[in-house]
Amino acid sequence: MLETLQMAPPDPILGLSEAFRQDPNPHKINLSVGVYQDAQGKTPTLAVVKAAERRLLEEEANKGYLGIDGLPEYGRHVQELLLGPAHPIIAQGRAVTAQTPGGTGALRVAADFFQQKLRGRRIWVSEPTWANHPSVFQAAGLEVGTYPYLNAAGTGLDLDGLLATLRTVPAGDAVCLHASCHNPTGIDPTVDQWRLIAQVLVQRQLLPLVDFAYQGFAESIEADRAGLLVLADADVDMLICSSFSKNFGLYGERVGALTLVAPTAERAQVGLSHIKVCIRTNYSNPPRHGGLIVARILGDSQLRARWLDEVTAMRDRIAGMRRLFVDTLRAKGVTRDFSFITQQRGMFSYSGITPAQVDRLRSEYAIYLVRSGRINVAGMTESNMDRLCDAIRDVL
């Protein structure tokens, strides 16, 4: 049976991590996968996560299965982080949450739910979007359309193009939106632009599927939910796929959530019953450990405050690297204007570096970027900046 099967291509993002690991160059730089690195180029476990794990080790009495939708207290914390603790949607019971294996797990369950239970046919993603979005949605049996996102200069949002395309989308389709820290561009709509997007979603009766993987990496946990709150005010049904990979550094623990916002508490419960069927027929129930860590930290005011400090430190370091990158390129005589990189938010920037230049960076300098030119700014450090900017100047 396997004779005719051809080798699948490597994953455009995770495939680079494998290649990076195998690269013997001691000066190699990894700016590909969206993983935070500290000033020493390491990705250590957050100190608050270690503290919570020590407590869990003492307290945890069994390793039994979680419910199909995960820990109940985890769901409550997720909703409060997403919408703010006092949001009426929570008080009215209109949000339901299932703990999922990472944000990708949430996306797949959301897509299955949309396709199998809501009879959805198509989802629209930004061009460009996270490289795995189209694949996850297609694997769930959905057609994938695209709406424009980048302006002609490649440095800002093409709001007119985005709105014009959404105005042509048939009612009942879903639209994938990035709540903040757009991956791969780092370009987010302003609140006024979110209002215009929400208007079109309402007029066209489209279902927003919001990917919220980087809460806290743009401005703050609270400010980063601004776009989501605009959608919540618009009274649309909504699927929100969120992740604690980045803001808790829990990458390999696979800790995410799918939250459904429905018009009534009763509709939310009906929706959850079907989401649970999608989960049970896929991976049965979510992994325990990461969910317990998050619930432990968010449920304890001291641990929570320590976590917020660590998120702030990660965000500030990335912002500092954005400025240093732009200044260093300028100091090295690069005349192209890269100042837009300091305006972009989150881990990523769309650098405008071409695939051919990306290939040269990798083969000649052991510097790894996604071929689209996406840079993970969180992989920059003060010690690799000179080498990185010299190499970019050479290939430009």
Residues that bind ligand LMR (CB under 6 A): 13, 33-34, 130, 132, 183
Name the catalytic one among 211, 237, 276, 307: 211
CB 144 within 8 A of CB 122: yes
Report the distance separating Cα 239 and Cα 174, nearest Å.
Answer: 9
Q: If we measure between CA atoms, which residue out of 378, 365, 389, 376 comes closest to residue 185?
A: 376
Pick the closer one to ligand LMR by CB: 241 or 268.
241
- Which residues fall within 8 angstroms of residue 3, CB to CB, at 6 or more apart? none
Question: Minimum distance between the CB of residue 258 and ligand LMR, rounded to whole angstroms?
Answer: 16
* Closest to 134 (Cα-Cα) out of 173, 164, 108: 108
Taking the C-alpha atoms of residue 223 and residue 216, their distance in angstroms, rounded to an integer, is 8
DSSP strand pairing (207-212 vs 143-148): unpaired
Rounded-to-5 percentages of helix, strand, coil across the chain = 45, 15, 40
**Nearest approach, Cβ of 130 to ligand LMR (angstroms)?**
5
Compute the least distance from the CB of residue 34 to ligand LMR, in Å.
3
**What is the smallest separation between the CB atom of 207 and ligand LMR, expressed in angstroms?**
23
Q: Give dist(CA 50, CA 40) in Å, integer.
A: 19
Catalytic-role residue among 130, 158, 188, 194: 130
Catalytic residue among 112, 188, 194, 246: 246
* For ligand LMR, the closer CB: 165 or 376: 376
Burial of 160 by CB count in 10 Å (0-12 exposed, 13-18 middle, 19+ buried)? exposed
CA atoms of 167 and 200, how far apart (whole Å)? 6
Please identify, using beta-carbon distances, which residue of 34 and 291 lies nearer to ligand LMR: 34
Q: How far is the CB of 137 from ligand LMR (least distance, A)?
A: 15
Closest CB 12 distance from ligand LMR, rounded Å:
8
Interatomic CA distance for residues 242 and 259, integer angstroms: 8
68 or 217: whose CB is closer to ligand LMR? 217
Largest Cα–Cα separation, the chain: 62
Between 130 and 365, whose beta carbon lies closer to ligand LMR?
A: 130
User: DSSP 3-state assignment of 126?
Assistant: strand
CB of 132 to ligand LMR, least distance (A): 6
Q: Is 194 a catalytic residue?
A: no
Catalytic site residue 307?
Answer: no
Number of alpha helices (DSSP H) and beta strands (DSSP E) in the chain: 14, 11
**Would you say 33 or 198 has its CB closer to ligand LMR?**
33
Got the DSSP string for 167-236?
TTSPTT-EEEEESSS-TTT-----HHHHHHHHHHHHHHT-EEEEEE--TTSSS-TTGGGHHHHHHHHTT-
Residue nearest to ligand LMR (CB): 34
CB of 184 to ligand LMR, least distance (A): 7
Nearer to ligand LMR, 214 or 338 (CB): 214
Decide whether 209 or 261 has the Cβ nearer to ligand LMR. Answer: 209
- Any idea what DSSP says for residue 150? B
Per the annotation, the verdict on 276 as an active-site residue is no
Q: Report the catalytic residues.
A: 130, 211, 246
